[in-house]
Amino acid sequence: MTITLPDEMRAMLQQKAEAGGFASVDDYVIDALTENDEVVSTSQPHFRTREELEKLIDKGMASGVAGVVDHAFWARLDHRILERAAANSVRS
């Protein structure tokens, strides 16, 4: 596959590749895509149809006592999101 990038983007990717110790922009992009695929595959549910989604919901409902969704829950969730965002910005 060949992807044509604007010169500015190619230069930016070249700098990131060099800073990351990659031999080429191609290697840098392959690594970034592979890392992104691993994050997506481990952090997001996989379903293609409404039926698959409904099965996942039923499985979740049958899995036991649910946690309480209160102010503390949302505060913990906000904290986790901010931590992940900070970690992702360090990688970039």
pLDDT for res 66: 74
Looking at residue 70, the DSSP 8-state letter turns out to be S
Provide the token pair at 69: 């969704």
pTM here is 0.40
How buried is residue 14: exposed, middle or buried, by Cβ count under 10 Å (0-12/13-18/19+)? middle
Q: Which residue has the higher pLDDT, 91 or 39?
A: 91
Give per-residue pLDDT as tens, 2-33.
888 888 988 999 998 898 888 888 888 888 88
| DSSP string covering 20-68 | TT-SSHHHHHHHHHHHHHHHHHHHS----SHHHHHHHHHHHHTTSPPPP
Which residue ranges make up each domain of the chain?
A: 1-64
Q: Give the pLDDT of residue 40.
A: 52
**Could you report the per-residue pLDDT of 38-84, keeping only the tens digit for each?**
555 555 566 677 888 888 888 888 887 777 788 888 899 899 999 98
